[in-house]
Amino acid sequence: MEEQVKEFYKMPLIGDLAPSFTATTTQGVINFPKDYEGKWVILFSHPADFTPVCTTEFMTFTRMLDEFKALNTELIGLSVDSLYAHIAWLRRINELEWNGMKNLDVTFPLIEDIKMDVANKFGMIQPGQSSTQAVRAVFVIDPKGVIRTILYYPLSTGRNFDEIKRIIQALQKADKDNVATPADWRPGDDVIVPTAGSCGTAKERMESKDDDTYCLDWFMCFKKEKR
């Protein structure tokens, strides 16, 4: 009897190009990353259709869809359920009311991944949690197809959607202005300028009279944001 050979995938890391795939979804076939060139993407997985935590998450993502689109960001969902289960579940979501949300049409694609092809490429199947369900993974992917953030939640814990949006805003700010964002940063807050790379630069910064920047020490300088 021939020994069955399993295909193993290395879980992609921050800074890696996101694995490419073609998949059937509730919005038709998508080719990633080709169909999303020039866009930020939130690719997220959920354990199963018709489950309560996942339902609250899909309702929240749908409510926030325009907010993400305003940030040039598209959503792609995934679970290992069938396309028909997806369709039935999304139709049921439209009939539910929770936390002030109702009559929600889920218009972003939800991947059918019964064979777990995409889930395995992204390390979404973790045997310590389940061998047949994806964990609550979130991959933030930039317009060049590079993975910039990875979040994992256990099956029992719903995601923090304000934080997912904040991550997109912080990454876009860092890319645009070549800065870093401090703890609990929100748009409009002061940002951190790159650390001085020489003694001369450190001295100049500490002695600078620039009204737009201030330093707590040579290695920790901030730029004021105009409000």
Burial class, 129, CB count within 10 angstroms (exposed 0-12 / middle 13-18 / buried 19+): middle
Say which DSSP state 133 is in: S
Neighbours of 126 (CB within 10 A): 17
Nearest CA to 192 among 227, 163, 225, 166? 225
Residue 187's alpha-carbon distances to 33, 44, 50, 73, 190, in angstroms, are 28, 24, 35, 17, 9
- 91 belongs to an annotated ligand binding site: no
Active site residue 54: yes
Distance CA 126, CA 130 (A): 6
Active site residues: 54
The annotated binding site for substrate is made up of 136
